[in-house]
Amino acid sequence: MGKKRNKKAKQLGHLPPQHDFFLNPHNDARFTRCPKCDGLTKLRKKPLMIFIKLVQPVSLNKTCRYCPNCDLLIVHQDELDQQVQQMCVQFFPHLLGEEYLVVGTVERKAWKEGYQGKATLGDMFATLHDFKQHLEFEPARWMWVKED
């Protein structure tokens, strides 16, 4: 079962929290099945709010795995690392290689306006859904045992 990573934290977004969240650090596990209920996950494109080095907020439209039964959003860390790095190279070279934190999802309309430069940071926080909780999972491992 999943393990909670954070205790009750102060809410950043102005909208109610949405989704449990799992940042998958396992390159060899893609979680096509939900680690909570074993149901098939679906692909969903979600605008994520990310803080780089806890000082630079950015929103990134990312394809994620989603279990509608458990309301669990799964993002593969290796893919997100690559996208955040590309964003830093282009816009924030001084933050290249810094740690980041995914804090929630932004309403799609606000993400589009922000992408077009029509929204302020305040607008983004007004449409931000924090995650209900951050979870950790370990993929199931098979072991072959030679029988004598």
pLDDT in tens, 39-48: 999 999 999 9
pLDDT digits (tens, 9 = 90+) for 25-41: 999 888 999 999 999 99
Confidence at residue 141, expressed as pLDDT on a 0 to 100 scale: 63
Q: Any idea where the domains of the chain sit in the sequence?
A: 12-136
Q: Nearest Cα to 32, choosing from 9, 5, 65?
A: 65
End-to-end CA distance of the chain: 33
Decide which of 30 and 12 is more confident: 30
Residue with tokens 């790095």: 85
Cα(100)–Cα(81) distance, integer angstroms:
9
Confidence (pTM): 0.84
Distance CA 31, CA 98 (A): 26
Q: Render pLDDT for 81-140 as a digit per residue (tens, 0 to 9).
A: 999 999 999 999 999 999 999 999 999 998 988 878 888 888 888 999 999 999 998 876
